[in-house]
A and B are shown apart, each in its own frame.
Chain A
Amino acid sequence: MRHLESVDRVTDTISHWRAKGPRGTVVEWDAEIINEVPNQVIGWRSLEGSDVVSAGSVNFDDEGAGRGTRVTVHLQYSPPGGKVGAALAKLFGRDAATEIREDLRRFKQQLEAGEVPTTAGQPRG
């Protein structure tokens, strides 16, 4: 989640999210966990007053036989109009599914390899 600036825990189930958009715009929302089964699923929805109305879930399924855990993200969001809407469109690009897939790939890399592979900052001619 390259655009995410911060996540602050407000209560056990409510958190405040802040993401950076283009040209200094900021998108903020509060998310409430509405469903949580340890090691299986986390479900959330945004609270009133958020810049963006969203709801989603992450499921964790054991693939069995040492084949790892399948992580599935479901995300629905309805972007508002105006500046914030434009910022959100930039955040997710045209294809939110691709963005989320890349986020999941980095998540997996961090968990499995302990770091996300990079070449940023290496020399070149």
Chain B
Amino acid sequence: MKALCWYGTNDVRISRVPDPRILNPRDAIVKVTLTAICGSDLHLLDGFIPTMKRGDILGHEFMGEVVAVGPGNTALKVGDRVVNPFTIACGHCFFCGRGLWSLCDNSNPNAGMVEKLYGQSPSGLFGYSHMMGGYAGGQAEYVRIPFADVGPIKVPDSLTDEQVLFLSDIFPTGYMAAENCNITPGDTIAVWGCGPVGQFAIRSAWMLGAGRVIAIDREPDRLLLAAHRGKAEVLDLTQVNVFEALKDLTGGRGPDACIDAVGLESHGSTIDDFYDRVKTKMMLATDRASTLRQAIHACRKGGTVSIPGVYGGFIDKVPLGAAFSKGLTLKMGQTHVHRYLRPLLNRIEQGEIDPSFVITHRLPLDDAPAAYDTFKEKRQGCIKVVLRP
């Protein structure tokens, strides 16, 4: 089959590889009908995530048709049309039992590897480095899904692929980011990053009762989408002092909750961003964090900073003193996608949201390498790329 493989920093290509096969009883094999490039895939492209190996198949947002089912899987049958969560979860451990699906204890074959870095291992992920399991991803014609009896959700034929694909990651991720804000009616929510996750965080904040949503980015196209489809007030961080602007907009109090939908490759315009760039270039730090600092700085006393943006390693100059003194709550982590599949599918079915609004580029899988570049450089107003194998 054809698959998008990673060969090194800024080097992804379409390769011919063997078809996947059933390896464990609960597996399923899916023929991919639609897949997407995630902002977090760019962290792989840019070489920020350790333990990648040449030839790894990328992609964790995908859906398709079940073509084979393992002998221990009675939940799926050949022909089922499913969307698959990007986190891999066994459904039976201490963590799955508590709804903490992205922290599943039993899905990472390389748990010992990540324990050295993080202390404990989160769940396995598709196409996201060997310390996260080394699972082949779904930017391919076929993909193997482990624990496929608890992950994939069957979707009705009345909805198109484009309407349901983002249940795999970015819609639940934006939704959980908003849920983590503990929104009470009327709250003001500030969202840094108007990429796909930010767009869904904005929409979700409204769903959960926000009174005001303020979106922050530097890309005019993304701010426009946040304003038009997200009904957010927008701040262009290249034009205004974000901290002062947020203070002014909230009578000096600051937003009730701040969402960092940017993560470890923040593009700031402040002195600390320059400092991060120097340190990461010199391998003295691994992540850039100007957004996180700004979110902590801007958040009102007693508020919440919610972090759906991915962080991978070490950052410094985190203003923990500000977080402490203002009594902030920090909430973060990979999305417990399984928890949100059914409720968010219901919202799509009821017409509350059509997630395809974020798609700007529709391309064949063969064009994936060029699409990565377009997405990374944010050319042609690129916000979200979907690929059809």
Contact = CB atoms under 8 A, between A and B. Distances in A.
B249 interface: no
Given A119-B109, A122-B20, A114 B136 contact: no
A66 B95 CA distance: 12
A123 B7 CA distance: 15
Size category, A interface: 20 to 34
Interface string B101-113: 0000111110110
Contacts of A3: none
Interface in A52-78: 66-68
Contact of B23 (A68, A118, A125): A118
A124 B17 contact: yes
Which of A68, A105, A116 is most buried by chain B, counting CB atoms within 10 A of its CB?
A: A105
B17 A120 contact: no
B81 to A, nearest CB: 23
Contact of B15 (A112, A115, A125): A125
A109 interface: yes
Interface in A31-65: none
B150 to A, nearest CB: 10
A102 B112 contact: yes
A112 B106 contact: yes
Interface stretch (B86-94, B206-214, B251-259): B86-94
B163 interface: no
Given A115-B25, A117-B124, A123 B17 contact: yes
B329 interface: no
Nearest to A121: B23
Contacts of B140: 123
B318 interface: no
Contact of A125 (B3, B109, B111): B3
B57 interface: yes
Interface string A87-125: 000000000001001100100110011111111111111
Contact of A117 (B15, B17, B24, B54): B24
A114 B109 contact: no
Which of A102, A119, A125 is most buried by chain B, counting CB atoms within 10 A of its CB?
A: A125
B56 A125 contact: yes
B26 interface: yes
A102 B134 CA distance: 17
B23 A120 contact: yes
A123 B56 contact: no
Interface string B167-196: 000000000000000000000000000000
A111 to B, nearest CB: 9
Interface string B44-57: 00000000011111
Contacts of B21: 121
Interface string B5-36: 10100000101011111011110000000000
Interface in B132-176: 133-136, 140, 144, 146-147
For the complex of A and B, the 3 pairs showing the least CB-CB separation, nearest first, are: A125-B5, A125-B15, A113-B90
Given A113-B92, A125-B17, 5 more contacts: A112-B92, A117-B88, A122-B144, A123-B3, A123-B20
Interface of B: 1, 3, 5, 7, 13, 15, 17-21, 23-26, 53-57, 72, 88, 90-94, 97, 105-109, 111-112, 124, 133-136, 140, 144, 146-147
Interface of A: 66-68, 98, 101-102, 105, 108-109, 112-125
